[in-house]
Structure 1
Amino acid sequence: MSFSSGQNRVSVFLRGQTPAKKKENEQQKLYTLLKTILLKIKRCFMKKTILFFLPFLYINNYHSACAANIVQTDHVYTYENLTNDLYELANTYPNIIQLTALTETDYGRKIWAVKLGNGETSVLLNGAHHAREWMTSMLLMKMIETYAEAHKTNTPISGLSPAILDDVSLWFVPMVNPDGVTLQQFGLEAVPFFAHEQFLQMNKGIENFNRWKANGDGIDLNRQYPVGWEQLKGVTSSPSYKMFKGTRPLQAKEAQALVHLTKNIQPEIAVSYHSSGQVIFWGIDAWRLTHTTDAAEREHSIVDKLSAVTHYKLAQPGPTEQGGGYTDWFASSFQKPAFTLEIGELVEEQSLPLSAFPEVWKRNHLIGLIIAEQALHLQNMKKAAPSPRPSMK
């Protein structure tokens, strides 16, 4: 059966294959092919871009994660840990942390001071006057790191703004007694062989140094400050693992260094951390008697805030607990608020167990920021107070 040319044209037309349509289909195929090629190129470029930047993203995230985890709290916290962490913190937060060595001990360990913040108003927090109370060093170091990271990321901590560090400088001396801490943690390995017999004698012949409180010279550093030193009770008459006040006030380098720093920075408030009792000591008789009722009420207002967040009971030191201590000296010499915080449950002749730290941190992690806010408030009150009127003669 044969078809005419007209029939062929009709048949082709019915199958949709007119010359115009055929050309259109070819153009569509070309467009689709080009689109596919471009999509593959785009995907390839994106993949290579991601692969190129992925290491940088990983490094950045790694540093961000590490930034908040420099200070490790799951092991015995040594002088070496503290020193290494301080260098890393200073490098990580150079805009807000300044590190200073106040002095060196007789055994060559530095007593570090850390300035956190850029404000003119200052406060001072110290820890580990007593060797076996090294958990206070770990606490203060974790404060430094936490506050610095919060300031960097502008992240409030339990509703408290880290921006306070733009107005107030928090000064820390996290380990006042590095020689004593090292001796308590490592025993006679911490000191030269020729000194072993001397240290055994100061430790009453006991080779275990877990109970050690004194510095490397057998002096109790928190019985070294001038106020009330002469009247100190319950002290020993010779160098010992505890309770020897020295032969004169400020005999120990460590106490000298802390006094020198305090006089230089003139803090509005001072806090001294110790480790046993879950109590806050505040005020001494000689200081309170020189103050007005308003000043006493302001101090009570501050200590109430500290007690509210820590849930530590409040106490005023008794006769055997007064004199020779850092906060005794600060409160009397500067006539400003000073508080001694005992962070853990009462333990006898040993350091707090590591298992206690999470609870200690929970109770104390806001103390530095609260103290900073209260210091700024006190400073603003002073500025707002009217100047005394000149006397008329």
Structure 2
Amino acid sequence: MRKLTYLLIPLWLTFFPTIGKAEIVEAEKIYTYEALSQDMVELATKHPDLITYKSLTTTSFGREVWGIKLGQGETTILMNGAHHAREWLTSTLLMKMIETYAAAYDNQQTVEGFHSKVLDKVSIWFVPMVNPDGVSLQQWGLQATPDILHPFLIEMNQGSLNFNRWKANLSGIDLNRQYPANWSYLKGVHSKPSYQFYKGTRPLEADEVRALVDFTYEVMPEIAVSYHSSGNMIFWGYHQWGITHTTEFMKDYYSIAEKVSELTRYPIEEPKSHQQGGGYTDWFIEEFAKPAFTVEIGQLIEDSSLPIDEFPDIWERNKMVGLFLAAKALERQMNP
């Protein structure tokens, strides 16, 4: 039994015909850190030869940032979600991918035409919830945090006791504005800890970000994806015409973006200058000169998490992305 009781939701939300049979990951419910941790263990127990996991770091408040490996290959890709607290539906999506791909592999099946046997040669690393402390605050309010923090959290939330809009970690740092790429010149950021947009006092200040950076160096992914939740689009590119980015690389990069766009029905966007920098994919592209994408999975919505009833459409759009990128990573490795 999970220790936390889920928030009540309308009965009709328990019927999700497009998701498939309910097994371990319950996509129709508020997806908590506790649920993710339990689901991870159950999935690894069910698929011991295919799924393993490790903690990338333990936050100051005792929650783990989990890395979950799906597959047996040396070639890797990395997919992460929930840098921002209110964007936890990305965690649901990534965990649903793990469950679906593992089941397909066991049954030698495809997912929308993409064969799961690619997992023999490629490992997909998932970091489904980069910001577990922030997610817990956003979902449960102050009860999810130590009493000593409450005045500080309320101040960062501009006096409000409603934390639905919360994006930062519990130190008030926006984790997707913590990466070294263009950090010093970021625009539109707050000057002090806040529920959103505070970049910190230096890059990699936040434990969660530093752990993900170290882990990225460890697994050296061929392709990376950072899932966010608001805008229905795919962001690609970061200062892509730099010296390290050849025309051949850019053609390949854009062709992958086009295919992801075709699969998901999200349009491709190149971030405007004020949007560039500080994010995980900005850093990854600059550091590794390899393809990376920021995928915004739902409608443009401010100051709240996405409605759970959007998940069936989000799943239909995204369910094959991981296997497609795994196959593309293997192709890139074999044809450098």
**Pairwise TM-score range, normalised by the shorter structure:** over 0.9
CA contact (8 A) 2:240 2:250 kept: no
CA shift, 1:349, in A, is 1.0
| 1:74 matches 2:31 | no
CA–CA separation in structure 2 for the residues paired with 1:126 and 1:68: 23
CA shift, 1:67, in A, is 9.3
Select 1:343's aligned residue among 283, 297, 310: 297
CA contact (8 A) 1:125 1:170 kept: yes
CA–CA separation in structure 1 for the residues paired with 2:321 and 2:121: 17
Question: Which amino acid counterpart does residue 358 of structure 1 have in structure 2?
Answer: P
CA–CA separation in structure 1 for the residues paired with 2:240 and 2:204: 20
RMSD: 1.2
**Equivalent residues, number:** 317
CA contact (8 A) 2:33 2:136 kept: yes
Question: Which amino acid counterpart does residue 198 of structure 1 have in structure 2?
Answer: F
CA shift, 1:182, in A, is 0.3
| 1:119 matches 2:76 | no
Question: Which amino acid counterpart does residue 279 of structure 1 have in structure 2?
Answer: M
| 1:370 matches 2:319 | no
Greater CA radius of gyration, 1 or 2?
1
Query: Equivalent residue of 2:102, what SS?
Result: helix
| 1:360 matches 2:314 | yes
Query: Equivalent residue of 1:230, what SS?
Result: helix
CA shift, 1:243, in A, is 0.3
Select 1:91's aligned residue among 33, 45, 49: 45
Question: Which amino acid counterpart does residue 326 of structure 2 have in structure 1?
Answer: A
Q: Aligned residues: percent identity?
A: 55
Consecutive unaligned residues in structure 1, runs of 5 or more: 1-65, 383-393
| 1:311 matches 2:226 | no
| 1:180 matches 2:134 | yes
Gap change, CA 1:147 and 1:304, over 3 Å in 2: same
CA contact (8 A) 1:67 1:92 kept: no
Select 2:84's aligned residue among 103, 116, 130: 130
* Corresponding residue of 1:32: none
Alignment of 1:246-285 (within 5 A): 246-285=200-239
| 1:218 matches 2:150 | no
Question: Which amino acid counterpart does residue 88 of structure 1 have in structure 2?
Answer: E
CA contact (8 A) 1:68 1:149 kept: no
CA–CA separation in structure 1 for the residues paired with 2:184 and 2:124: 32
CA contact (8 A) 1:128 1:176 kept: yes
Deviations 1:252-298 (A, max 9, x none): 00001100110001000000000000000001125655322111000
CA–CA separation in structure 2 for the residues paired with 1:198 and 1:287: 43
With structure 2 as the length reference, what TM-score do the two structures score?
0.93
CA–CA separation in structure 2 for the residues paired with 1:133 and 1:89: 23
CA–CA separation in structure 1 for the residues paired with 2:306 and 2:205: 28
| 1:168 matches 2:122 | yes
CA shift, 1:68, in A, is 6.4
CA–CA separation in structure 2 for the residues paired with 1:375 and 1:140: 18
* Corresponding residue of 1:29: none
| 1:229 matches 2:183 | yes
Deviations 1:147-171 (A, max 9, x none): 0111011111111110000010000
Higher helix content, 1 or 2: 1
CA–CA separation in structure 2 for the residues paired with 1:325 and 1:229: 9
CA contact (8 A) 1:287 1:331 kept: no
CA shift, 1:192, in A, is 1.1
CA shift, 1:197, in A, is 0.5
* Corresponding residue of 2:102: 148
Question: Which amino acid counterpart does residue 278 of structure 1 have in structure 2?
Answer: N
* Corresponding residue of 1:206: 160
State the structure with bigger RCO (CA 8 A, min sep 6), 1 or 2.
Answer: 2
Consecutive unaligned residues in structure 2, runs of 5 or more: 1-19
CA–CA separation in structure 2 for the residues paired with 1:285 and 1:170: 26
